[in-house]
Chain A
Amino acid sequence: MTQSNRIDAGGRVDRSQVLEFTFNGQRYQGFKGDTLASALLANGVNIVNRSFKYSRARGIVAAGAEEPNAVVQLGARADTQVPNVRATQQGLYNGLVARSTNGWPNVQRDVMSWVGRLGGGFMPPGFYYKTFMAPASMWMTYEKYIRMGAGLGRAPTESDPDIYDHMHHHCDVMVIGAGPAGLAAALAAARAGARVILCDEQEEMGGSLLDSRETLDGVAATRWVEQTLKELAGLANVTLLPRTTANGYHDHNFVTLHERRTEHLADTARAAGFSGQSRARLHRVRAGQVVLASGTHERPLVYANNDLPGNMLAGAVSNYIRRYAVVPGNRLVLSTSNDHAYRAALDWQEAGRKVVAIVDARANPDGDLVRQARDSGIRVITNSAVIEARGHQRVTGARVSAVDLERFVVTGKVDELECDTIATSGGYSPVVHLSSHTGTRPQWDEALLGFVPGKVKGMISAGGVAGQFDLGETLADGARAGRQAAQERGFSGAQDIALPATRTRRESPACALYQVPHEKSALRAPKQFVDLQNDVTAAGIEVATREGFESIEHVKRYTALGFGTDQGKLGNINGMAIAARCLDRSIPEVGTTVFRPNYTPVTFGAIVGRHCGELFDPKRYTALHQWHVENGAEFEDVGQWKRPWYFPRTVNGKKETLHEAVNRECLAVREGVGILDASTLGKIDIQGPDAREFLGRVYTNKWAQLAPGRVRYGLMCKDDGMLMDDGTTSCLGDNHFLMTTTTGGAAGVLEWLELWHQTEWPELQVYFNSVTDHWATMTVTGPDARKLLSELTDMDLDRESFKFMDWRDATVAEVPARIFRISFTGELAFEINVQANYALHVWKKLFEHGEKYNLTPYGTETMHVLRAEKGLIIVGQDTDGSVTPEDLGMQWAIGYDKPFPWIGKRALSRPDTLRGDRKQFVGLKPKDPNVVLEEGAQIVFDGKQSIPMDMKGHVTSSYYSASLKHGFALAVVMGGRDRMGQTVYIPMTDGTVYEAEIVSPVFIDPKGERQHV
């Protein structure tokens, strides 16, 4: 197919670079510099989509981000699919493949399209809910079929070959939009010396100047754009970001920008010739000042069949002609409420095609552009508007009539003009989206007939968005904003910059025209669309107001006005105007909705950045990780740590299961010697004369008498009396302690200590520092532990001189070490701490010597079983923030008579914590020895009770014990300690009910003799 709508001269495309592309399976050609939209129009492609609800044929309407119809699925391969791409924002590249988002079986011939041909009253808002309401249970079924007809792009089914990343910026002045105002602002701020970032969402910077009929200093406006960009690019304090959309404006002048880095070049970054470069980048900008120069969107008029392909915005028509050398039709009718739109007719005529008529709703337009059109022989019909478009798959005619806007009626006889394109303009809406992201309400400007940005701290709006539509004023406004922003940031030397001279034009005032009256009522006339993307019609809004939805927020939700990726760019103000007319109120009385981020869709890839795959979250490793990997460990995530879970061996050519490995590891510890990498435990060094006093206040138990060389287990509560962490703390010197915390609690406990020190007891002389990473910790445990360790140290390990809960300085395998005789297994145990850089050496030496004792490495699963057999709790597993030390039966660790009212003490005498029926910590022995109860399972006292059963507790830990040769569990049960020996029931979802006996939580060595050997 030839580019039948391309004109021979002009435009900013490079005709020497022909690009091939495919749309809906059909191959076309365009030029470098085209967008997908301009290339499609050049090739005369009318239908680019089917509408969301009514399956009506839709064509390209706009030339920028406000395009509601030409939303395509991009990508040549299954793994490069990108949904929801606006063809107007997609740079054309060789080999581009795109498809329509909607339409089944295809856009030319859609089986659902009969729906949309019915009159305005068919399928009113809420249609689906109203029609398919009963029975409610069937909605799920209906929905499936309804959705098949609709569709909003398809998620890719294969993983993306490209990467996306983030970049953080700080600047004095963030200029959003590189049209005349933005360029002037950036130049003024940059010359003053401020750090400036200038971003613009289009393929090229320049905004409206790129398709302007205006001259600057007597030459084409694009010359000034080139000069300005050249100067800005040469300044070290300026960052230019083209193809970058400012998508979100957040608290304290934080702006997120979405930069398309290679998307305009090829299907993937690699295909574009880049290695390691991201396809898109999310810039996170902390700006001192924001200059919002986002310009305006032209408002379309609302009339019957205004969605037929061939209905376009007037400004878009100019844009395609002047920027891309594409005339999107042959015969034009322009319907307008203002002078500015006359440009479209002039451009059209100069491109050599026929302007049938300009239909102007005003009585006596006489501005310069109006005169120019008349002088060029163009027929201008005043006091009139296009009331209906005719045609099937493309506009074939325009029905034009005189209208009375006050009374909202058609007054004269209706004329039908033959044409293939209807361009409309109802005025210009400032693009206030970003300013309203901050929560600031846009303000109605009656003179402008539009909303302008509300006041945002640190933001200055300039140019079109601020209601300046004259080019000279826009440039001056931009320069003023840039200078002011720089001054706010302390660049007092900001001076006026010389601005190019513009022509001033006389303009006749615009009139307020949104919906155009029709001979029939809105409900009977052909559909008059307000929001093309969401298929919201004028009739729909009328119905909504009639059904009692008076707030625009409610109308929006009822009709879907302004929903989706469109965010009401074209439709919102027309929708409000229609609601206001129906309710007989003014537009500001009806109010406006507040836009939310993001302004246009942002790919998930850019939001995620590099925080995916291997870099999704930090993986923390101990100093012994290499050894664990080499020795076949399976790993478990504990917080961010990678901890060995178990070390399966291969027995008779078969790898052990978790269960087999854990049974073996458990028996090795109970009968021989095992070793655990316990480096992940939190460790906090505490120094200062008041260290001991501080410990007494944050732990529930007593610390006054703990002597240097001794270790004590401590419980830490919040002030509500609930257990938050536990661990051992060693007295290193009278003013020096080493606290250990749970692996997951390390950071939280350190902050907890700082919190109390800094806010409640700053008078206490004490410092806390994390030494978690400095020390590697190896636990050697089991009856043979002493024999093994004595081979590597000359320290006296005798049970009398180195008692249970003692610690000593020593040397292990030549490395200075601190050895703690503490036990989390109930067996004889030594925890060896060495500076982490030497850990692997010591660990390997232990294995060299441990071979003859069958030294067995064990992981977290075995650790859990061994401690559970001893009834030792794990905070966060056996407790959940609602368990007191009393509930756990740990009265021995509560110092009620300590002098200072320690954290948690008072709460332990509140009525709720004194209740006798609180859940108490107990052991459970299943009646069937082979049963291992499910952790988290609920416990009931009456197994035969009908549902809902009275839940009396739950299982917190449950394992199989190789030593006991039966399953066992720890649980919390209401009043459990008084129910020893009683049977409880654990009903499962499959109907099975397990029986278990309440027993002591200590299953092995109840007297605790083994750890003292």
Chain B
Amino acid sequence: MFHIFCPYCQEHREEEEFHARGQAHLMRPADPDNTSDEEWGDYLFFRNNPRGIHHEMWVHSVGCRKFFNITRNTVTYDILETYPMGEQPTITADSEKLRKEQGVQTADGGWQTVGAQPESKALNEETSS
């Protein structure tokens, strides 16, 4: 059960008031009629599934009914920021990488399966490019 800060209601609310609506910042091609089948297919069907920082769109459906975006760590489930439609995130995978390089400690991911950790870590690094 997430605890989500609604940028419009200006307070934290329980997850049951919200619905997740998938990847944020999807752009509908401006001129669909002159968009190739491949580009249109990308827009319709292909989504990112990153390990770590992810931007998601949510809607406060039992509340103010407004859509907004969340920056969330898909490993720790930490919600790092929420921001209204039309705004850009201040925290991104790149900015976090920079922070780490500059020596700022961030929470390590929780492994459900610990015994096989070294193996699965390698596995994840390979697939998360």
Residues of A within 8 A of B (CB): 250-254, 284, 286, 438-441, 454-455, 457, 551-554, 590-594, 719-720, 751, 754-755, 758-760, 762, 901, 905-907, 910-911
Is the Cβ of B114 less than 8 Å from the Cβ of A591? yes
Is the Cβ of A286 less than 8 Å from the Cβ of B14? yes
9 further contact pairs, Cβ within 8 A, besides A439-B109, A905-B32:
A251-B2, A253-B3, A286-B3, A438-B110, A439-B76, A554-B115, A751-B61, A754-B59, A755-B21
Is the Cβ of A441 less than 8 Å from the Cβ of B3? no
Is the Cβ of B67 less than 8 Å from the Cβ of A251? no
B1-49: which residues lie under 8 A (CB-CB) from chain A? 1-3, 14, 19, 21, 28-29, 31-33, 35, 37, 40-41, 43-45
CB contacts (< 8 Å) of A759 on chain B: these are 57, 67, 85
> Nearest-CB distance from A565 to chain B (Å)?
20
B116 within 8 A of A: yes
B88 within 8 A of A: no
Is the Cβ of B67 less than 8 Å from the Cβ of A758? yes
CA distance A593 to B113 in the complex (A): 7
Q: When A252-B2, A719-B28, A755-B21 are in contact, do A590 and B115 touch as well, CB less than 8 Å?
A: yes
CB contacts (< 8 Å) of B86 on chain A: these are 762
CA distance A554 to B113 in the complex (A): 10
| Closest chain B residue to A590, Cβ basis | B115
Of A552, A755, A907, which one neighbours B40 at CB under 8 angstroms? A907
Is the Cβ of A441 less than 8 Å from the Cβ of B57? no
CB contacts (< 8 Å) of B21 on chain A: these are 755
Is the Cβ of B110 less than 8 Å from the Cβ of A439? yes
Is the Cβ of A254 less than 8 Å from the Cβ of B111? no
Q: When A252-B3, A590-B115, A594-B111 are in contact, do A907 and B85 touch as well, CB less than 8 Å?
A: no
Is the Cβ of A553 less than 8 Å from the Cβ of B57? no
CA distance A590 to B35 in the complex (A): 54
CB contacts (< 8 Å) of B61 on chain A: these are 751
B112 within 8 A of A: yes
B76-121: which residues lie under 8 A (CB-CB) from chain A? 76-79, 85-86, 107, 109-117
CA distance A591 to B77 in the complex (A): 23
Is the Cβ of B114 less than 8 Å from the Cβ of A901? no
Of B19, B43, B85, which one neighbours A758 at CB under 8 angstroms? B85
CB contacts (< 8 Å) of B35 on chain A: these are 906
Count the A-B residue pairs with Cβ separation under 8 angstroms: how many? 95
Is the Cβ of B114 less than 8 Å from the Cβ of A441? yes
Q: Which 5 A-B pairs have the closest CB atoms?
A: A439-B110, A551-B115, A906-B32, A591-B115, A252-B3
> Nearest-CB distance from B82 to chain A (Å)?
13
Is the Cβ of A254 less than 8 Å from the Cβ of B3? yes
Is the Cβ of B107 less than 8 Å from the Cβ of A457? yes
Is the Cβ of A758 less than 8 Å from the Cβ of B2? no
- A–B Cβ pairs within 8 angstroms, 25 of them: A250-B1, A252-B77, A253-B3, A254-B3, A438-B110, A439-B76, A439-B77, A439-B112, A441-B114, A457-B78, A552-B115, A553-B114, A553-B116, A554-B115, A591-B114, A593-B115, A594-B111, A751-B61, A754-B67, A758-B67, A758-B85, A759-B57, A760-B28, A901-B32, A905-B32
| Closest chain B residue to A596, Cβ basis | B112
CB contacts (< 8 Å) of B51 on chain A: these are none
| Closest chain B residue to A721, Cβ basis | B44
CA distance A922 to B14 in the complex (A): 47
Of B85, B111, B117, which one neighbours A762 at CB under 8 angstroms? B85
CB contacts (< 8 Å) of A552 on chain B: these are 114-115
CA distance A284 to B65 in the complex (A): 25
CB contacts (< 8 Å) of A251 on chain B: these are 1-3, 77
CA distance A590 to B1 in the complex (A): 32
CA distance A755 to B59 in the complex (A): 9
Residues of B within 8 A of A (CB): 1-3, 14, 19, 21, 28-29, 31-33, 35, 37, 40-41, 43-45, 57, 59, 61, 65-67, 76-79, 85-86, 107, 109-117
Of B1, B28, B107, B116, which one neighbours A455 at CB under 8 angstroms? B107
Is the Cβ of A906 less than 8 Å from the Cβ of B33? yes
Is the Cβ of A754 less than 8 Å from the Cβ of B31? no
> Nearest-CB distance from A255 to chain B (Å)?
10
> Nearest-CB distance from A309 to chain B (Å)?
34
CA distance A911 to B38 in the complex (A): 11
CB contacts (< 8 Å) of A719 on chain B: these are 28, 43-44
CA distance A441 to B121 in the complex (A): 14
CA distance A911 to B65 in the complex (A): 36
CA distance A594 to B110 in the complex (A): 10
| Closest chain A residue to B31, Cβ basis | A901
| Closest chain A residue to B24, Cβ basis | A759
> Nearest-CB distance from B32 to chain A (Å)?
4
Is the Cβ of B111 less than 8 Å from the Cβ of A906? no
Which of A251, A552, A590 has the most chain B CB atoms inside 10 A of its CB? Answer: A251
| Closest chain B residue to A769, Cβ basis | B65
CA distance A455 to B76 in the complex (A): 11
CB contacts (< 8 Å) of A454 on chain B: these are 110
| Closest chain B residue to A168, Cβ basis | B14
Is the Cβ of A594 less than 8 Å from the Cβ of B67? no
CB contacts (< 8 Å) of B29 on chain A: these are 906
Is the Cβ of A907 less than 8 Å from the Cβ of B77? no
| Closest chain B residue to A254, Cβ basis | B1
CA distance A1010 to B117 in the complex (A): 72
Of A250, A440, A755, A906, which one neighbours B110 at CB under 8 angstroms? A440
> Nearest-CB distance from A265 to chain B (Å)?
31
> Nearest-CB distance from B34 to chain A (Å)?
9
CB contacts (< 8 Å) of A284 on chain B: these are 1
Is the Cβ of B114 less than 8 Å from the Cβ of A751? no
CA distance A454 to B117 in the complex (A): 16
CA distance A406 to B86 in the complex (A): 66
CA distance A816 to B45 in the complex (A): 48
Is the Cβ of B116 less than 8 Å from the Cβ of A551? yes
Is the Cβ of B112 less than 8 Å from the Cβ of A594? yes
| Closest chain B residue to A906, Cβ basis | B32
| Closest chain A residue to B68, Cβ basis | A758
CA distance A553 to B114 in the complex (A): 8
Of B37, B76, B78, B115, which one neighbours A553 at CB under 8 angstroms? B115
Is the Cβ of A594 less than 8 Å from the Cβ of B77? no
CB contacts (< 8 Å) of B43 on chain A: these are 719
CA distance A590 to B114 in the complex (A): 9
Is the Cβ of B67 less than 8 Å from the Cβ of A593? no
| Closest chain B residue to A551, Cβ basis | B115
CA distance A305 to B77 in the complex (A): 45
> Nearest-CB distance from B64 to chain A (Å)?
11
| Closest chain A residue to B117, Cβ basis | A591
CA distance A291 to B38 in the complex (A): 53
> Nearest-CB distance from A379 to chain B (Å)?
43
| Closest chain A residue to B59, Cβ basis | A751
CA distance A593 to B116 in the complex (A): 10
> Nearest-CB distance from B68 to chain A (Å)?
9
Which of A454, A719, A901 has the most chain B CB atoms inside 10 A of its CB? Answer: A901
Is the Cβ of B114 less than 8 Å from the Cβ of A592? yes
Is the Cβ of A758 less than 8 Å from the Cβ of B115? no
| Closest chain B residue to A768, Cβ basis | B65
Of B14, B33, B67, B110, which one neighbours A441 at CB under 8 angstroms? B110
CB contacts (< 8 Å) of B114 on chain A: these are 441, 552-553, 591-594
Is the Cβ of B107 less than 8 Å from the Cβ of A594? no
Which of A439, A759, A762 has the most chain B CB atoms inside 10 A of its CB? Answer: A759
